Amino acid sequence: MSAVYKSKAAATWLALALGSLGVHRLYLRGFGDRLAWLHAAPTLVGLYGVQRMDQLGQDDRLAWLLIPFLGAMLVQGMIHGIVYGLTPDERWNARWNPGQPERASGWAAVIGVVCCVFLGGIVLMSTIAFSAQRYFESQV
């Protein structure tokens, strides 16, 4: 019985779309990967902070503390997508598809990397600006 082929492009796009929840790790390592299951908690904590801010307004201190967790998890997903997409095909196939015929990843992985860089940059800068704004407002 041969192992299932693990596509570099699919891993890149899963990291882009659902990386904050660890779906890219589940795709590559299976449901036994404990780190993948740990991704959901900080993401949900950050989403709870967004919900609190929506309901209670910008003066809710707990929301300001929780929202950066969401930003950090989104950024780590984008970083994983970039790393997956930029891994050379030979190295990818040696690690995730040993003993299977070589397959080229094509443009899907490259476009996924571009999207990860674009979205990751926006999220990272927004998270830094958001946290810095709250810090400096609390100093006044």
pLDDT in tens, 23-79: 999 999 999 999 999 999 999 999 999 999 999 988 888 998 999 999 999 999 999
The pLDDT-based confidence of 133 (bands split at 50, 70, 90) is: confident
Of 138 and 123, the one with more pLDDT? 123
> Tell me, what DSSP letter sits at residue 87?
S
Average pLDDT, the chain: 93
Question: Is 19 exposed, middle or buried (CB count within 10 Å of its CB: 0-12, 13-18, 19+)?
Answer: buried
Yes or no: say if 85 and 16 are a contact pair by the CB < 8 Å rule. no
Yes or no: say if 81 and 113 are a contact pair by the CB < 8 Å rule. yes
